Amino acid sequence: MRIRTITTTSIALLLCLIVLVNGCSSAPAPSASTKEQEETGRTSEPKKGGTITIGYPAEPDSLDVQKSAMIASSLITSFMGGALVYYDPQTQEIKPSLAESYSISEDGKKWTFILRTGITFHDGTPLTARAYKYTLGRALDPGTASPLGEYMFGSIQSIEAQDDRTLILNLKQPSAQLLSNLWDASISQPLSREAVEKHGSEYGRNPVSVGPWKFENWKTGESITMVRNDAYQWGNAFTKNQGPPAADKLVIKFIKDNQTMMAALESGAIDIAANVPAKEVKKYRDRDKVTVLERMAWGVNFLEMNTENEILRDVQVRKAISLAINKEAILNGVLQGEGEVAHSPLPSSLFGYDPASAEYGNSFNVEEAKKQLEAAGWAMTAQGVREKAGKPLTLNLLSSENWSRPSQLVQGMLKSIGIDVKIQTLDQATLIESAGKGMFDLAIVGYVDNDPNALSLFFHSKQINSLNHSRVNNKQLDSLLERGLATINQKERAKIYADIQRIVIEEAYWVPLYMEKEFYLVSDRVHGVGLQPMYGLTLQDSWVDE
């Protein structure tokens, strides 16, 4: 790390933070097929010009990074943004990026960043400490109603801009998570105040930041187009190209149907197919003109339950649902085994994951699931659907196109114990909105994050009506989540998150399903495509061979 001023105590604090990040990345690094590893050494030199077109299975709800919790939004805005620091996947360190250097006080509560000079927003205005003060202040402003602002930056008490280059963050208490949050080039990217005020409520369709790609247009239901930022000269050191991208344009096409996505790749309508199902990947592994990139995602896919639902407020019913789910069958049926069964709301690759979670008692057991329902008063009928006081045990399951197969499998598994599940398929943005308002019984979704405090988003009571879709209101859990964020000592923090995982599993708020590999298919027309740990693709070294 390049730190300008630092004391012994600050070093100890930073080492704790670095260990946290290393823990996040303990899974194998993003990898490519053997053919890709050989292919990336193509002898031709990078060329300027051309368009890179990516097929992506979802359309974002907004490109205002402080207003969206969708991964689709995060991926796209990460191309347009930057952050004070960055995560170097080669060394697994957090290093200065838009900041030239940073230091942390002995008590861990004063963080000082010195910004690099010469950085400008896409609208030509300079990046200053005042711009960052505005950005972070807006994220924390309740009026912004950011689904992630408090989670990402809630440890900040106040923000100072001493001069154009000196940004000071005064924390309420030392934070083990903040440094890793600050390297997210999506939600942690600086915003142009002029652009936000100019576009008002339409800023989410007219984003402005400091990254290598500039927003050009958004055709609803079709695509988002970005153009090269020719002024860009502040790339991170781990990339070969630290200046403007080689390609002229970057287009994200929204293609929800897998077969349509594959046809578009075959025809050349897209260059990269993102988030390709495992079943489609096998036939491409040995093809000369397509490269397979893969990585284990930092997150979990799960079945969540609305605990305010009349039926699901009974923990015995929730446990029965958990016991009835054959996760191995889902892993094999959906991913052809290309992933891992999830036992915890945390992925096994993330710091804080408790290996003992596999033994917490909700392993697949159909007979025990039936006993739980009988004990809860739900009797089986001749029609195969349980009833209680004349009311059938029927639940609605929210799903989206990319969750269709796991939803069908869950539906069949719950039918076997007498639960009638009706699947309602929505686009991802509508699903998240509906679940956030509590307008659901069951839903299958997933998340990615780089810190175990992600669990506060989903289980802290203050996140009800936001990302606490299960509407959990558990004071013991609230207290543990708050302690987990504030605790710097890694052993103590790990113990706290072990306790959190035990409560979540014993109360059966979720059924963790699986951790998946993500696959990307890349046409040989495009060179230099890489993977990054949070949102998948990185294109800084990419170029088009016309």
Number of other CB atoms surrounding residue 508 within 10 Å = 23
Q: What is the mean pLDDT of residues 132-148?
A: 96
Share of the chain above pLDDT 70, in %: 92
Tell me, yes or no, whether 248 and 320 share the same domain. Answer: no
User: How wide is the angle at C-alpha 357 spanned by C-alphas 353 and 359, nearest 5°?
Assistant: 155
Q: Is residue 280 part of a domain?
A: no
Read off the pLDDT of residues 264-312 as tens digits, 9 standing for 90 and up.
Answer: 999 999 999 999 988 888 889 888 899 999 988 778 999 999 999 999 9
Which pLDDT belongs to residue 361?
Answer: 66
User: Residue 127: pLDDT above 60?
Assistant: yes
Number of domains in the chain: 2
CATH number, position 308 = 3.10.105.10
Residues 188 and 167 in one domain: yes
pTM: 0.75
Asked whether residue 253 falls in the same domain as residue 309, the answer is: no
**Amino acid letter, residue 324:** A
pLDDT at 119 over 50: yes
- For residues 149 and 24, the model is more confident at 149
Report the alpha-carbon angle 138-79-193, nearest 5.
25
Distance of alpha carbon 199 from alpha carbon 202, whole angstroms: 5
247, 300: one domain: no
- Range of the structural domain that residue 439 is part of: 296-518
Whichever domain contains 225, its CATH number is 3.40.190.10
Stretch 312-336: mean pLDDT: 96
Asked whether residue 17 is assigned to any structural domain, the reply reads: no
In-domain check, residue 369: yes
Indicate whether 506 and 540 sit together in one domain.
Answer: no
261 and 137, same structural domain? Answer: yes
Q: Would residue 15 count as lying in a domain?
A: no
On whether residue 94 sits in a domain, the answer given is yes
What pLDDT score does 9 carry?
Answer: 26
Same-domain pairing of 165 and 238? yes
On whether residue 146 sits in a domain, the answer given is: yes
Higher pLDDT, 370 or 363: 370
409: its two tokens? 């499998």
Query: Is the domain of 216 the same as that of 345?
Result: no
* One domain for residues 259 and 389: no
Residue 208, φ and ψ in degrees, nearest 5: -135, 125
Q: Do 447 and 534 fall into the same domain? A: no
Residues 407 and 458 in one domain: yes
Tell me: pLDDT of 1 over 60: no
Same domain, 342 and 252: no
Is residue 60 assigned to a domain? yes
Residues 337-368 as b/e (b if ≥16 CB within 10 A, e otherwise) read ebbbbbbbbbbbbbbbbbeebeeeebebbeeb
36 in a structural domain:
no
pLDDT in tens, 529-542: 998 877 889 999 99
Please tell me the predicted confidence (pLDDT) of residue 411.
98
